[in-house]
């Protein structure tokens, strides 16, 4: 069918191109604006204008969103304004207008633009107009709002009543256009996340630690992380390990409070050879203040890197959670995505972990992998459930720029709803519930197929690290190249990033420590 090149989305009185691009990507692919205009190739001609009734200076909005607006600058922003979206097409003109506060500008642009584009294209996403915002945060905001309307006298920490939840369900479905099953999943997960976060006290100084090792044996086709091959980059491994240990010692030299959770991730930390791996985890852990009951997780993601000796090291070092990630339980799919390990490797790694005494194992699966359309994902999940890990995380394939699968520019393709994928994810979640797992954390990625979610299900208390990391409510100390550290000030997260480039990270480690100590001293 012929595509018009001259459909347009025009921004007026604001410059929130990133928020608009996020929504446009879902319907039409990766389109960059020229100035304040997006030119859209579409089968039917349309023009959307997205305007604010007041001029909103981009610098002020940026500062506002980072919590860095001065009192004088605040005066330059209107208290409220009207956000007006018009859609003009062959059928005529539609208009949506809503009073908005500047702090809600991006969120409201995304939501109303979704409404207009859904009307124009006929596409309905399972998450409706929710984008660019943490879904569980929205759910909790709605639940808290209902609490203050219905029972303002009740303390915030009490569980939500069925009336509060029913009202939230209606708002999610009618206002945010979220499908009923996603709205239910969201409310259940939001409550679970809230409960898990009650285990930490950020105001008292609770924090979590991430330690990254960006090496893997080979690169998975869908991976866009900054992973290096542990084989071809072997010359860097020892220097890298030494740098992380130096960083850990430097950062924690004057921190006495133990963290609430420690997570060794990557890449794949277990891609180090046995002796170096043992040295790495013990030296880093020795630098971190220790206390009983800390949640300590090892991401032993690639089953082909797990050996009995490494499991022994992990156990002896005090880790109480471990992740073994099959991604799929089909050998053909593993090969298609370049995982270079077999299903038998996964089963063996799982059994060895049990023998080593691990009783809290998470396994990750990905929905939407190439070749998995015919229910390969559900078959994989059934096999995983039969193994019986304590937690299962269901990811949706998300191909970003830089991934091998992106070679034909798939990351630029639109992520329109695919019925089979949406159905598979729903069935998978149902299978997990039937097997006794409950959702405990959830997040979405911009480039996920069909706009679907990643969700963690667990039979036990879930992972504090996973929830706290996503929450923007807890301070994070990140170690290793590319690791992010963040502190929470005035309910806003402020971040500092380690260099992604290995050589730079290793060479500048002293400066990195100095800068990060200064950054963390604000907590």
Residues near ligand SF4, by CB under 6 A? 216, 219-220, 223, 225, 227, 266-268, 301-302
Q: Which of 390, 380, 367 is nearest to 329 (CA)?
A: 380
Q: Rounded to 5 degrees, what angle do the CA atoms 130, 106, 143 make?
A: 50
Query: Residues 461, 444: contact at Cβ < 8 Å?
Result: no
CA distance 265 to 341: 19
- Rank residues 131 and 454 by Cβ distance to ligand SF4 and give the closer one: 454
Between residues 301 and 480, which has the closer beta carbon with respect to ligand SF4? Answer: 301
The Cα 16–Cα 36 span in angstroms is 9
What is the rounded distance in angstroms from the CA atom of residue 462 to the CA atom of residue 437?
A: 10
The distance of closest approach from Cβ of residue 334 to ligand SF4 in the complex, given in angstroms and rounded to an integer, is 11
Contact assessment for residue 414 and residue 40, using Cβ atoms and an 8 Å cutoff: no
Closer CB to ligand SF4, residue 172 or residue 220?
Answer: 220
Q: How far apart are CA 240 and CA 235, in angstroms?
A: 9
Tell the smallest beta-carbon distance from residue 371 to ligand SF4 (Å): 17
CB of 301 to ligand SF4, least distance (A): 5
Classify residue 312 as left (phi > 0), alpha (psi -120 to 50) or beta.
Answer: alpha
Backbone angles phi, psi at 385, to 5 degrees: -60, -40
- Residue closer to ligand SF4 by CB (options 135, 269) is 269
Least distance CB 418 / ligand SF4 (angstroms): 22
Provide, rounded to whole angstroms, the least separation between the CB of residue 170 and ligand SF4.
39
- R_g (Cα) of the chain, nearest Å: 24
Least Å distance, CB 325 to ligand SF4, is 7
Asked if 415 and 399 touch (Cβ cutoff 8 Å), the reply is no
Nearest-angstrom CA–CA distance, 333 and 342: 10
Shortest Å distance, C-beta 158 to ligand SF4: 40
CB of 268 to ligand SF4, least distance (A): 5
Q: How far is the CB of 186 from ligand SF4 (least distance, A)?
A: 26
Considering the complex, state which of residue 101 and residue 219 has its C-beta at the smaller distance from ligand SF4: 219
Which of left, alpha, beta for 278 (phi over 0: left; psi -120 to 50: alpha)? Answer: alpha
Nearer to ligand SF4, 202 or 376 (CB): 376
Which residue number, 395 or 516, has a Cβ lying nearer to ligand SF4? 395
d(CA 221, CA 411): 13
Tokens linked to 405: 């699968």
Report how far apart, in Å, the C-alpha atoms of 23 and of each of 64, 176, 452 are. Answer: 22, 14, 14
Which CB, 219 or 348, lies closer to ligand SF4?
219
Residue 415 to residue 450: CA distance in whole angstroms = 5
To ligand SF4, the closest distance from the beta carbon of 302 in angstroms equals: 5
Secondary structure of residue 265 in the 3-state scheme: strand
Q: What distance in Å separates the CA atoms of residue 377 and residue 364, rounded to the nearest whole number?
A: 11
Question: Would you list the DSSP string of 328-385?
Answer: -S-HHHHHHTT----HHHHHHHHHHHHHTT---EEEEEEET-TT-TTTHHHHHHHHHH
- Residue 219 or 249: the one with the smaller Cβ distance to ligand SF4 is 219
Residue with smallest beta-carbon separation from ligand SF4: 223
| Least distance CB 220 / ligand SF4 (angstroms) | 3
**For ligand SF4, which is the closer residue by CB, 128 or 269?**
269
Please report which helix (H) or strand (E) contains residue 296, including its range: strand 295-299
For ligand SF4, the closer CB: 225 or 358: 225
| Closest CB to ligand SF4 among residues 10, 226 | 226
Q: Is 126 within 8 Å of 451 (Cβ atoms)?
A: yes
Please tell me the distance from the alpha carbon of residue 126 to that of residue 96, in angstroms, as a whole number.
Answer: 22
Q: How far is the CB of 217 from ligand SF4 (least distance, A)?
A: 8
CA–CA dist 482, 500 (Å, integer): 4
Least distance (Å) from ligand SF4 to the CB of residue 357? 24
Question: Which residue lies nearer to ligand SF4 by CB, 213 or 509?
Answer: 213
């Amino acid at each position: 069918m012929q595509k018009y090149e001259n459909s347009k989305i025009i921004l007026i009185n604001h410059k929130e191109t990133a928020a608009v691009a996020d929504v446009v990507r879902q319907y039409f692919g990766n389109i960059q604006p020229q100035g304040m205009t997006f030119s859209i190739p579409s089968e039917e001609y349309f023009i959307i204008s997205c305007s604010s009734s007041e001029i909103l200076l981009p610098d002020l909005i940026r500062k506002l969103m980072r919590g860095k607006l001065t009192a004088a600058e605040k005066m330059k922003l209107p208290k409220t304004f009207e956000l007006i979206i018009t859609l003009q097409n062959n059928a005529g003109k539609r208009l949506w207008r809503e009073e908005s506060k500047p702090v809600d500008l991006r969120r409201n642009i995304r939501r109303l633009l979704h409404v207009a584009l859904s009307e124009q294209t006929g596409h309905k996403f399972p998450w409706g107009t929710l984008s660019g915002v943490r879904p569980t945060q929205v759910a909790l905001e709605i639940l808290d709002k209902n609490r203050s309307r219905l029972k303002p006298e009740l303390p915030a920490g009490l569980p939500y009543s069925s009336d509060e939840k029913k009202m939230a369900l209606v708002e999610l479905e009618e206002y945010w256009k979220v499908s009923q099953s996603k709205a239910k999943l969201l409310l259940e997960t939001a409550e679970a996340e809230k409960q898990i976060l009650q285990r930490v006290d950020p105001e008292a100084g609770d924090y979590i630690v991430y330690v990254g090792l960006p090496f893997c044996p080979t690169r998975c086709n869908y991976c866009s992380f900054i992973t290096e091959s542990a084989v071809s980059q072997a010359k860097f491994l020892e220097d890298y390990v030494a740098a992380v240990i130096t960083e850990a010692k430097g950062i924690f030299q004057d921190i006495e409070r133990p963290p609430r959770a420690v997570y060794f991730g990557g890449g794949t930390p277990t891609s180090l050879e046995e002796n170096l791996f043992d040295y790495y985890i013990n030296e880093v852990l020795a630098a971190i203040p220790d206390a009983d009951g800390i949640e300590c997780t090892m991401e032993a993601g690639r089953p082909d890197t797990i050996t009995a000796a490494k499991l022994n090291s992990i156990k002896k070092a005090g880790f109480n959670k471990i992740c073994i990630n099959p991604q799929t339980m089909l050998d053909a799919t593993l090969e298609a995505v370049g995982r270079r390990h077999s299903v038998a490797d996964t089963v063996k790694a799982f059994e060895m972990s049990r023998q080593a005494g691990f009783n809290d194992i998470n396994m990750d699966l990905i929905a939407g992998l190439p070749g998995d359309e015919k229910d390969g994902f559900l078959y994989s999940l059934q096999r995983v459930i039969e193994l019986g890990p304590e937690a299962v995380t269901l990811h949706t394939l998300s191909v970003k720029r830089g991934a091998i699968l992106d070679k034909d520019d798939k990351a630029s393709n639109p992520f329109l709803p695919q019925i089979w994928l949406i159905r598979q994810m729903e069935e998978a979640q149902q299978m997990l519930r039937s097997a006794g797992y409950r959702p405990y954390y959830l997040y979405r990625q911009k480039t996920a197929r069909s706009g679907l979610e990643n969700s963690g299900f667990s039979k036990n208390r879930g992972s504090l690290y996973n929830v706290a990391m996503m929450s923007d409510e807890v301070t994070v100390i990140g170690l290793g190249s590319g690791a992010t550290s963040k502190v929470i000030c005035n309910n806003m997260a402020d971040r500092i990033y380690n260099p992604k480039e290995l050589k730079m990270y290793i060479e500048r480690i002293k400066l990195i420590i100095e800068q990060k100590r200064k950054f963390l001293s604000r907590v």
